Amino acid sequence: MPDNYDASLALAEYSPLMFSELVPDAELLVSQCNTLQFIGKEGFMDIIYRLMTGIANMVSRLFRAFKIVYRIFKDLKRTEWQDYRERYPASIARIKRASYMDLRSLKMPLPKGLNTTYVDATQKIIACLKACDMTTRSKSFVQVSENIYKKLNEGSATSGIVAVLFEQAGEVNQINKLFQIYDKCFDKSSANEAEFNKLYKSTDEFSLECSLLTDHDHFLYDIHSVYKALNDCDSYMQKSLAVLNALKNKNDGPSISKEELTSLSNACLFMAKTFDTYGLSVQDFHRVEHNHVEVCKEVIRKMKF
C-alpha cells in the first residue's frame, strides 16, 4: 500500500490551539463592551477608539491565523471527489453494482487513525461543519463591520444591524459537543489500510458515502468565502480605526452604540472559540474524501473493472 494513502495534511504551522489562545483576550473585550454604561458623542470618542482598536486587533489576529488553514485550499478549483466522479462515473457504478462478498476482504486505504466506517465519520464531520455554519456567520461579521464603517464615514448605515448569529453562547457548547463526537472516529493508530467490510458495511453504504461527499463538497469550496469575509472584516475595521483616529479628539463625531460594539466583540469571541473546530473539521473532511477516492482506485485495480 503506497505511503501517501494517509493524505494527512502537511500543517507544520498549524496548532490545534492556534485560535483558542485568542479566547482570553476576546472574552475581555466582550466584558468591557458589556459593562460599558453609555457611548455617545460627548467625550466618549477616546473610549470608542480604545475598544474598537482592541476589536480590530482581534480581527487581524483571527485573519492571520486562518490564513494557515486557507493556504492548504487556496488553489482549490475542483475537489478530488468531484474530479474523480466526473472522470470515471462508469467505474464508480461498477463498484456500486459489485458483489459485497467479492469486496469485503479486500485491503483498502483509510485516513490515519480512522476507527469506524467512512459513512459514520463523514456524517459526524458534516454535522459539526453544519453547526459551525461559518459561511453565514462570517457574512454576518462583514455586515456588522461594514455598517459601522459606513456610519463613521458617511453617516449612512442602517441602524440596528447586529451580529445576532454570534450571541447564542449555547451554540459554542453544541459545536464543541459535536466535535468531540466526531473526533472519537479517529485515534492514534498508524494503520493506513483495513478490509473493505470494516470501512463500508455494504455496497449501499459505499454508495451513501459517494452521495455524502457529493452533496457536501461545498464545505471545501466555502473556505474561499470565509477567507474573503475575514479579509473584508479586517479591511473595514482598519478603515474604521482611521476615521476614529481623526475624530477621537472631537466631541461631535458619529457615535457607535454599545449594542454594535458588543455585537462585534461577541463575533470575535465566537470565532476564537470555534475556528479551531472548523479548521480541523474541514481538514478531516478532506482526508476522508481523498481516501474514499483512493478506495475507488484500489477496488478498480484489484477487481480489474
Does the residue 281 lie in any domain?
yes
Report the distance separating Cα 226 and Cα 194, nearest Å. 35
Report the distance separating Cα 143 and Cα 260, nearest Å. 11
For the chain, what is the domain count? Answer: 1
Does the residue 4 lie in any domain?
no
Does the residue 190 lie in any domain?
yes
pLDDT value, residue 13: 39
Does the residue 158 lie in any domain?
yes
pLDDT value, residue 40: 47
Question: Range of 154's domain?
Answer: 22-70+77-303
Does the residue 219 lie in any domain?
yes
pTM: predicted TM-score of the whole model, two decimal places = 0.84
Does the residue 161 lie in any domain?
yes
Does the residue 177 lie in any domain?
yes
pLDDT value, residue 28: 84
pLDDT value, residue 250: 63
pLDDT confidence tier of residue 292, bands split at 50, 70 and 90: very high
pLDDT tens digits, one per residue of 86-123: 999 999 999 999 999 999 999 999 999 999 999 999 99
Does the residue 209 lie in any domain?
yes
Report the distance separating Cα 296 and Cα 86, nearest Å. 13
Nearest C-alpha neighbor of 270 from the set 129, 62, 51: 62
Nearest C-alpha neighbor of 166 from the set 272, 24, 28: 272
| Contact call for residues 19 and 65 (beta carbons, < 8 A) | yes
> Of 13-22, 45-54, 123-132, 136-145, where does the model show the most confidence?
123-132
Query: In the predicted model, what is the mean pLDDT of residues 51-65?
Result: 86
- Amino acid making up residue 57: N
Angle at 276 between CA 206 and CA 164, to 5 degrees: 100
| Contact call for residues 152 and 240 (beta carbons, < 8 A) | yes
